[in-house]
Amino acid sequence: MARQADSNSLRLSGGVFTLTVLRLQSLDPDPLEQQWQEQSAALGILQGAPVVIDLADCKEQEISQELPKIIQILRQRGCTPVGIRNATPAQQAAADQLGLAQLRGMESSPQSMKKNHQRPELTPASPPLEHPLRSGQRHYARGQDLICLATVNAGAEVLADGHIHIYGPLRGRALAGVQGDETAQIFCQRLEAELIAIAGIYQTLDPQHPLWGRAARIFLDGEQMAIMPLEK
Amino acid sequence: MAQTIVVTSGKGGVGKTTTSAAFASGLALRGHRTVVIDFDVGLRNLDLVMGCERRVVYDFINVIHGEARLQQALIRDRTLDNLYILPTSQTRDKEALSAEGVARVMAELQQEFDYIVCDSPAGIETGALRALYHADAAIVVTNPEVSSVRDSDRILGILAARSKRAEEGREPVQEHLLLTRYSPKRVQEGEMLSLEDVKELLRVPLLGVIPESPVILQASNQGIPAIHMKGSDVAQAYEDTVARFLGEERPLRFVQQEKSSFFKRLFGG
């Protein structure tokens, strides 16, 4: 019996997924194979993971012959390539043949990404938050600094593209420079945070921290998070 | 217009129903026409604490669903003529509390009473949200321990965001902190958060402190609101709480550890 087309057989919905990006330095399969064997323990986390192949460093190379081999190696190692990005048109054509999706976003090289990650154009800060931010509440100052006059309680979260100033105890989470601005800083009158982060580099805190309960300034010193007392 | 007060906490077992019963009775004792509503659909405790469980015929849910008139469901309190109880159903669940239905019942109660006390269920799901939605004031019942404080903080955030007043951009819900099961002795021994700790963490004006006491259990087992337990510290603490709510100044009692008297120490009393 022919099945009637069921109007409920398909539902579209959206989702945001985190994928591992494998950035190939070369399209030669042999070094890949070799490196995989040498670092099998570290790369073991890719077992069963969907990965995206980033070809930003292989712009000059012809891929049509090599890509199928690379895909095969990845599959043998247990990961599932689902797409490519930063591909040249020729590379894209090869990927199409293999049924890999083209993924967009972050197409630039890391050097120019750094440039994008400089302090974005910030608009003047909104009026300060006057009331305590409570457990379960979250406040994001998009394209702005964030100023909070009251407490950020445990379980609450403040985020800003720029700096975060908290003129009360910080007991929850504070994430500054969430778009990647590494010059963003966090200032608080009393550091009792659950988590602090700047440009994606984060740290959890506990009461054993030497600056616990004190006024503090948090910033990035290279890749390291620095926590300094505010008072001299 | 009646004032609507939600008694809420986030966490269970901290004393919401005990407080609802005692607080509503306290308002009625002072001559205000008061109704207390049980929003804890499916568990139904308020009628037990108020000692009217055998008089429940129709309930809040029946009224919401148009199966009974409000007057049929309201139960007059045993001792106070101007106090009514609107019990809830034990056989339904919280989804039965439709937003429109609750709004309709609240509007009707507004006409009849001075104060509407809403006894919220624990948690932050439908029942609790419906209970706090219409509130003009909130009594956040908190025990002096970390998880209770955290849940109170969460419910305060929800009050600020999801109440009708917040949605309509009106003056925010008036927040009051009520610290219950407080034991100065255990605070001194470091087993409990102190009054100052809780105030510092929540930053909400303190309405009262109810001491930990076996009287609470006796009262609820007998179906008598704790405020009627004459001479007990708990009854006095609830009286103070009601008085402060109505704008009177009352000094805090029962927050210091009692010094045992010379004779008690001498004879090991």
Q: What DSSP string runs through A9-49? A: S----------EEEE-S-S-HHHHHHHHHHTHHHHGGGTT-
Judge if pTM exceeds 0.90: no
Would you tell me how many other CB atoms lie within 10 Å of the CB of residue B147?
Answer: 11
A166, β-bridge pairs: A148, A188
Residue B157, chain A, CB below 8 Å: the answer is yes
**pLDDT tens string A49-103:** 788 888 877 777 666 677 788 888 888 878 888 888 888 777 888 888 888 888 8
pLDDT grade for A38, boundaries at 50, 70 and 90:
confident
CB A164 within 8 A of CB A174: yes
E strand spans, A57-198: 80-85, 101-102, 138-141, 146-148, 157-160, 164-170, 173-176, 186-191, 195-198
pLDDT given for residue B267 in this prediction: 66
Q: Work out the angle at residue B123's Cα, subtended by the Cα atoms of residues B122 and B124, and round it to the nearest 5 degrees.
A: 130
Q: DSSP for A85-111?
A: ES--HHHHHHHHHTTPEE--S--S-HH
Cα gap A74→A59, rounded to integer Å:
20
Whole-angstrom distance, CA of residue B193 vs CA of residue A7: 58
How high is the pLDDT of residue A149? Answer: 96
Query: Which among B8, B129, B140, B154 is the top mutation candidate for probing chain A, defined by the most A β-carbons within 10 Å of its own β-carbon?
Result: B154
| CATH match for A138-229 among 1.10.1060.10, 3.60.40.10, 2.160.20.70, 2.60.40.1120 | 2.160.20.70
Strand partners, B211: B182
Q: How far is A151 from chain B (nearest CA, A)?
A: 9
Put simply, whether B35 touches A (Cβ < 8 Å) is: no
Measured in angstroms, the CA of A135 and the nearest CA of chain B are apart by 5
Domain ranges of chain A: 20-105, 138-229
Report percent pLDDT > 70 for chain B.
96
Which residues of chain A neighbour B150 with C-beta distances below 8 Å?
135, 154-155
Give SS3 for B178: strand
pLDDT, one tens digit per residue, over B142-192 is: 999 999 999 999 999 999 999 999 999 999 999 999 999 999 999 999 999
pLDDT digits (tens, 9 = 90+) for A10-35: 777 777 777 778 888 777 777 777 77
Interchain contact B166–A (C-beta under 8 A): no
ipTM of the complex: 0.77
Among chain A residues, the shortest Cα distance to B201 is held by A153
pLDDT digits (tens, 9 = 90+) for B66-114: 999 999 999 999 999 999 999 999 888 888 999 999 999 999 999 999 9
Per residue in B15-62, pLDDT (tens digit) is 999 999 999 999 999 999 999 999 999 998 999 999 999 999 999 999
Name the CATH superfamily, with its identifier, for domain A20-105. ACT domain (3.30.70.260)
The alpha carbon torsion through B96, B102, B108, B112 (nearest 10 deg) reads 100
Residue of chain A with shortest Cα separation from B147: A154
Residue of B nearest to A192 (CA): B201
